[in-house]
């Protein structure tokens, strides 16, 4: 850790949209470029002289924090489950970004899972998917896709997909149905374990501030 400032890794996309108005309540307000979608900037100063933000892909937040390039991160529990980094400590559920990680397939695929010994699944969660089917006694062949996963069954790439489901509209519009829910997903605050030991007062203070906005966002 070579930065005196605490670096918080923020995820691009839907989680950040929910989190952004809550940051002003802490308050830790980022510089103006942070909110400009056309900006290519990735590292941002904030209203707190001791804290800066980086904005990265959701899946990269856990990696930046686990390897110490960021001290704290905001990340979905789906990502934590997939990577399972021992270096991460997750003290708080922020009660935003709620959805489900689900197994889905076409409505025409009517075989029960209990009758399968092998399954081909398209997903960006290969480790979670393999573990899920291992517990069912099914060998899962996972094809990793980072986007447009819903196309896989229709084009014959796989019989099933594992992906996040929020409203369910994307699943339905692509001719798929949810077969099973694998897990509930929400957004977590994560901390690098080494930083928790070396800078406990700063980290605990931030956890308390985030807990305040988390309680306020819990419906």
Mean pLDDT throughout 10-34? 91
Of 110-114, 126-130, 147-151, 175-179, the range with the lowest mean pLDDT is: 110-114
Predicted confidence (pLDDT) at residue 150 exceeds the cutoff of 50: yes
* CA gap 31, 34 in Å, rounded: 6
pLDDT (0 to 100) of residue 64: 98
Span(s) in the chain for CATH 3.40.190.10? 6-97+186-217, 99-185
Cα distances from 152 to residues 84, 133, 134, 148, in angstroms, run 26, 19, 22, 8
pLDDT (0 to 100) of residue 2: 42
Predicted confidence (pLDDT) at residue 107 exceeds the cutoff of 90: no
Mean pLDDT throughout 76-88? 96
Mean pLDDT throughout 107-111? 76
- At the top level of CATH, which class does the domain 99-185 belong to? alpha beta
- Domain covering 6-97+186-217, topology: D-Maltodextrin-Binding Protein; domain 2 (3.40.190)
pLDDT averaged over every residue in the chain: 92
Predicted confidence (pLDDT) at residue 173 exceeds the cutoff of 90: yes
* CA gap 211, 2 in Å, rounded: 27
């Amino acid at each position: 850790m070579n930065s005196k400032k605490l670096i918080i890794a923020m995820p691009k996309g839907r989680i950040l949209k929910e989190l952004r108005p809550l940051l002003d309540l802490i308050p830790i307000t980022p510089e103006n470029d942070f909110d400009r979608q056309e900006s290519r900037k990735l590292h941002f100063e904030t209203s707190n002289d001791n804290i800066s933000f980086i904005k990265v892909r959701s899946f990269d937040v856990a990696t930046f924090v686990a390897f110490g390039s960021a001290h704290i991160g905001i990340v979905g529990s789906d990502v934590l489950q997939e990577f399972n980094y021992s270096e991460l400590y997750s003290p708080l559920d922020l009660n935003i970004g709620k959805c489900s990680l689900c197994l889905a397939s076409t409505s025409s695929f009517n075989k029960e899972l209990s009758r399968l010994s092998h399954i081909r699944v398209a997903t960006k969660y290969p480790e979670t998917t393999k573990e899920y089917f291992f517990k069912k006694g099914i060998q899962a062949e996972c094809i990793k896709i980072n986007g447009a996963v819903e196309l896989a069954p229709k084009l014959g790439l796989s019989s099933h997909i594992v992906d996040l489901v929020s409203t369910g509209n994307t699943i339905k519009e692509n001719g798929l149905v949810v077969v099973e829910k694998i897990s509930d997903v929400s957004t977590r605050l994560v901390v690098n374990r080494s930083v928790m030991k070396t800078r406990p007062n700063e980290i605990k203070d931030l956890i308390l501030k985030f807990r305040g906005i988390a309680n306020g966002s819990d419906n």
